[in-house]
């Protein structure tokens, strides 16, 4: 088994992301609605047709969607591996209760630290927005979870009498800083809320760390929030898939070490933790 060649699948709250790695290179990643397991299964089987024999590794924070997808794939004679159960996800942390952290956050942190090789802040912007901190030794310190852009807009519509249902799109800069109609005002508001929450959190982490770590953004809304914005240094769209790859490389290809750790080490199972992911 080649640890750098596999089909990585991230099943999140709203979307399932599928990507094929060949010798570490990600090829043709694509997203599918979680409520359409047949479409994601078709993509997985198509990737297997292009590269027969690759292992399929599922990571998830959405057990019903994960199970439906796994069932659809097994009908074609393919048995997927599950992150946490078949592929260990060990991580060093300072959490009070590691059983509540979602696989998405751990995988994004793993992918970011392995690639950055330094302390980093990971901003995952999707259904929810998570902002997590990994120090220079690779220790995961946790972070914060906030509603994503779509969730904020949905809440404004659901919890008020007259605010309309609005799908997020970047506000037109030509319209200026003032929302001169309700929809524009809502878009400006949720954008400011998301960016403000991320900036405040980054500043608190930097104060704790004593410097500004590298800041990496991922998730389906990362480009909408941070492209051409000074808040984030790097946007890596498929950081969670990269994390799956790195977990497999650690499990299948790295030397085992008996080094002792000062911090607790845990393995995250494939059960849904808090379910508060940021969809790719």
As annotated, the active-site residues are 104
Token digits of residue 115:
């690639």
What is the number of other CB atoms lying within 10 angstroms of the CB of residue 267? 13
**Cβ neighbours for 194, distance < 8 A, ≥ 6 positions apart:** 125, 129, 146, 148, 149, 152, 225
CA angle 261, 107, 154 (to 5 degrees): 135
Match 């008020």 to its residue by tokens.
Answer: 160
Distance CA 10, CA 18 (A): 7
The SS3 of residue 23 is: coil
**Cβ neighbours for 162, distance < 8 A, ≥ 6 positions apart:** none
Under DSSP, the state recorded for 165 is P
> Backbone phi, then psi, for 189, in 5-degree steps?
-65, -50
Q: Say if residues 193 and 170 touch (Cβ distance below 8 Å).
A: no
Distance CA 90, CA 265 (A): 6
Closest C-alpha to 243, from 47, 101, 57: 57
Q: Containing H/E element for 30? A: strand 25-33
CA–CA distance from 91 to each of 88, 137, 175, 235, 256 (Å)? Answer: 9, 11, 46, 23, 14
Match 């389906």 to its residue by tokens.
Answer: 220
């Amino acid at each position: 088994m080649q640890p750098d060649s596999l089909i990585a699948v991230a099943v999140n709250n709203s979307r399932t992301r599928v990507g094929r790695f060949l010798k570490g290179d990600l090829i043709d990643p694509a997203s599918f609605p979680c409520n359409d397991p047949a479409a994601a299964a078709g993509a997985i089987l198509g990737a297997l047709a292009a590269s027969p024999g690759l292992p399929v590794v599922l990571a998830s924070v959405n057990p019903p969607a994960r199970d439906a997808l796994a069932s659809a794939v097994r009908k074609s004679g393919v048995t997927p591996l599950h992150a946490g159960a078949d592929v260990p996800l060990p991580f060093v942390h300072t959490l009070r209760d590691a059983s509540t952290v979602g696989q998405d956050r751990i995988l994004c942190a793993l992918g970011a630290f392995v690639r950055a090789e330094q302390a980093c802040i990971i901003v995952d912007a999707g259904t929810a927005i998570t902002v997590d901190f990994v120090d220079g030794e690779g220790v995961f310190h946790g972070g914060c979870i906030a509603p994503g852009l779509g969730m904020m807009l949905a809440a404004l519509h659901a919890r008020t009498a007259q605010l309309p249902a609005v799908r997020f799109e970047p506000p037109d800069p030509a319209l200026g800083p003032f929302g001169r109609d309700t929809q524009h005002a809502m878009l400006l508001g949720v954008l400011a809320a998301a960016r403000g929450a991320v900036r405040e959190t980054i500043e608190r982490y930097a104060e704790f760390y004593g410097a500004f770590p590298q800041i990496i953004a991922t998730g389906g809304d990362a480009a909408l929030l941070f492209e051409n914005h000074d808040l984030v240094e790097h946007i890596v769209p498929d950081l969670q898939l990269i994390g799956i790859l790195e977990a497999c490389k650690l499990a299948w290809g790295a030397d085992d070490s008996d080094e002792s750790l000062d911090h607790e080490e845990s393995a995250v199972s494939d059960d849904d933790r808090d379910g508060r992911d940021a969809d790719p």
